[in-house]
Structure 1
Amino acid sequence: MDYNVGDTVIMKKPHPCGSKEFEILRVGVDFKLKCAGCGREVMVPRIKALKSIKKKKEG
């Protein structure tokens, strides 16, 4: 699946704050994701991010 900056994705495991939704801020070798619940930004290696994304949120 193709992911772009600005997409919202739902992860398999929740962030410690309880939210499973993340906004993609940067795509490349690493994904920069922003938690929709608390606003924390995390950098995740591309391979790990692709494995942990459940689906892309529509709309």
Structure 2
Amino acid sequence: MAENLFSLNDIVEMKKPHPCGENRWKIIRLGADIRIKCQGCGHSVMLPRREFSKKVKKVIEHAEET
């Protein structure tokens, strides 16, 4: 899989929606583990990078480069 498909503060869509019904997540930490925050209820989840790569469907919005 190609590297750098996603970066910090990107909004991604996961394959399965969160129990609150929202399917948009913001990437709030990158490293060996990736922390994502639900855009509906604000709950955050930390996933290993490999598991995150399997569960992510697509990048909805790329973060603004400053």
Which TM-score applies when normalising by structure 1? 0.91
**From 16, 20, 25, the counterpart of 1:22:** 25
How far apart, CA to CA, are the structure 1 residues paired with 2:55 and 2:49? Answer: 10
Identity of aligned residues (%): 46
In the TM superposition, residue 3 of structure 1 has moved relative to its aligned partner by 1.1
How far apart, CA to CA, are the structure 1 residues paired with 2:61 and 2:49? Answer: 21
Between Structure 1 and Structure 2, how many residues are aligned?
Answer: 59
Residue 51 of structure 1 aligns to a residue in which SS? helix
1:5 aligns with 2:11: no
Aligned-pair Cα RMSD in Å: 1.2
How far apart, CA to CA, are the structure 2 residues paired with 1:40 and 1:58? Answer: 19
List gaps (5 residues or longer) in structure 2.
Answer: none
- In our comparison, the structure showing a higher alpha carbon Rg is 2
Runs (4+) of structure 1 exceeding 3 A deviation are: none
